[in-house]
Amino acid sequence: MDRTLVALGLAAPLLVAAARLSPRPPTYLVSTGVTEERFWVMKARLPPSFDLVLAGDSRVYRGLSPAAMREVLKGRRIANFGFPGCGLTRPYLEAASALLDPGSQAPAIVVGVTPHSLTPHAARDNGFLAEKKRPWMQANMRMYLAPVERTFAPIDPNTSLKVWLHPEEFGYGRYFEDFHEDGWVASRHEPERPDQALGEYRRVLEPVSADILDELFDHVRRWNSAGRRVFGFRPPTSDAMAGLEVSMTRFDEARFVEGFEHAGGVWLRPEAAYHSYDGSHLREDSAIQLSRDLATAMAASPAPTGQAIPSR
Query: What are the pLDDT digits (tens) for 36-68?
Result: 999 999 999 999 999 999 999 999 999 999 999
- Alpha-carbon dihedral sign for residues 69, 41, 21, 14: positive
Please give the average per-residue pLDDT across 93-111, as a whole number: 97
pTM here is 0.83
Phi/psi-derived region of residue 39, left when phi > 0, alpha when psi is between -120 and 50, beta in every other case: alpha
Q: How confident is the model at residue 237 (pLDDT cuts 50, 70, 90)?
A: very high
Looking at per-residue pLDDT, the higher value among 160 and 86 belongs to 86
Q: Examine residue 308 and state whether it is found in any structural domain, yes or no.
A: no
Looking at per-residue pLDDT, the higher value among 311 and 261 belongs to 261
Q: Examine residue 31 and state whether it is found in any structural domain, yes or no.
A: yes
pLDDT of 141 strictly over 80 = no
pLDDT of 7 strictly over 50 = no
Least confidently predicted of 8-22, 81-95, 236-250: 8-22
Least confidently predicted of 93-97, 102-106, 159-163, 173-177: 159-163
Question: What confidence tens digit (pLDDT) does each residue in 196-221 have?
Answer: 999 999 999 999 999 999 999 999 99
Q: How confident is the model at residue 156 (pLDDT cuts 50, 70, 90)?
A: low
* Residue-level pLDDT at 25: 47
3-state secondary structure of 229: strand
Q: Examine residue 130 and state whether it is found in any structural domain, yes or no.
A: yes
* Residue-level pLDDT at 127: 85
How many domains does one find in the chain? 1
Q: Examine residue 11 and state whether it is found in any structural domain, yes or no.
A: no
Contact in structure between 107 and 304 (CB atoms under 8 Å)? no
Please give the average per-residue pLDDT across 141-147, as a whole number: 66
Q: What is the CATH number of the domain that holds 266?
A: 3.40.50.1110
Q: What are phi and psi of 192, to 5 degrees?
A: -70, 155
Q: Examine residue 81 and state whether it is found in any structural domain, yes or no.
A: yes
Phi/psi-derived region of residue 94, left when phi > 0, alpha when psi is between -120 and 50, beta in every other case: alpha
Q: Examine residue 310 and state whether it is found in any structural domain, yes or no.
A: no
* Residue-level pLDDT at 117: 97
**CA 210 from chain center: how many Å?**
25
Share of the chain above pLDDT 70, in %: 78
pLDDT of 251 strictly over 70 = yes
Looking at per-residue pLDDT, the higher value among 308 and 192 belongs to 192
Q: Examine residue 12 and state whether it is found in any structural domain, yes or no.
A: no
Q: How confident is the model at residue 271 (pLDDT cuts 50, 70, 90)?
A: confident
Structural domain boundaries enclosing 208: 25-300
Q: Examine residue 4 and state whether it is found in any structural domain, yes or no.
A: no
Q: How confident is the model at residue 306 (pLDDT cuts 50, 70, 90)?
A: very low
